[in-house]
Amino acid sequence: MAPSVPRTRAVAALRMKQIALDNQSRTIRRLRAKLETERRESAATKEGLETKVSSLERDLQIQRCDNHSLRNTVTLCHNAIDRRISHLVEAKKEHRTNQANKQQARESHLECHHKLQACIQEAEDTIQEQHLIIEALVEEKSSLLQTIQGNRRSDSNNGGEGSSNSRGGLSREHLMAIATIVATTIQGLVNPNNNQAPPPTPPPRGTKYYYESFPKNKAPTFDGSHDSKLHSLG
């Protein structure tokens, strides 16, 4: 007996629904597989990104440490350069001060050298003048000694009739006193530091060679100086 038409249609509808459900099931399984694949890919990507982020964070931390150390190094270098510059400035000031001191010392040395040259020249002039005075005094002493010897010979020839000169000249005592003064003056000029020498014996009072009769001429000194008469002799 042949089936009825409504039953056939119902079976066809059921089969169509079953096919549609099978198609939906396959689509769902395919989508689930795709989703699982995407999830795995997303997890791998996430893990890679996390690893990259952690690596970047480590690099950033290292970079920060490097920057900090570099900043400290730059600061230390800057401080060292500042100290070096300050030392150079101080050294330059000290060099200028030393140059000024050297220039001042050089000028002082030149001034002292000029003064020393002037003193040496003055001492040479004084020594030359004293040599001339000594030569004049030696000549005068020689002439006085000759006069004394002549007076002694004349006294011995006259038989001791007085100590005065027959020609109205100087007596023997006067000539001896003048010779003593000349010898003492020569000794004072030769040895100006010998201040312990005894003073010369003055001529007797009442004679024309007594000290008070010569207001323009002073007594000879023993410190190397000389009077106006000795200047005139020089």
For the chain, which residues make up each domain, given as ranges? 127-158+168-233
What Å distances lie between residue 211 and 134, 172, 234, CA to CA?
Answer: 22, 17, 21
Per residue in 19-77, pLDDT (tens digit) is 999 999 999 999 999 999 999 999 999 999 999 999 999 999 998 998 889 999 999 99
Is residue 232 predicted with pLDDT exceeding 60? no
Is residue 217 predicted with pLDDT exceeding 60? no
pLDDT at 181: 74
What Å distances lie between residue 90 and 77, 105, 227, CA to CA?
Answer: 20, 22, 62
Angle 51-54-56 from CA coordinates, rounded to 5°:
105
- What ranges make up the beta strands (E) of the chain? none
Per residue in 78-113, pLDDT (tens digit) is 999 999 999 999 999 999 999 999 999 999 999 999
Which residue reads 């689930």 in tokens? 32
The answer to whether the CB of 148 falls within 8 A of the CB of 179 is yes
The answer to whether the CB of 188 falls within 8 A of the CB of 224 is yes
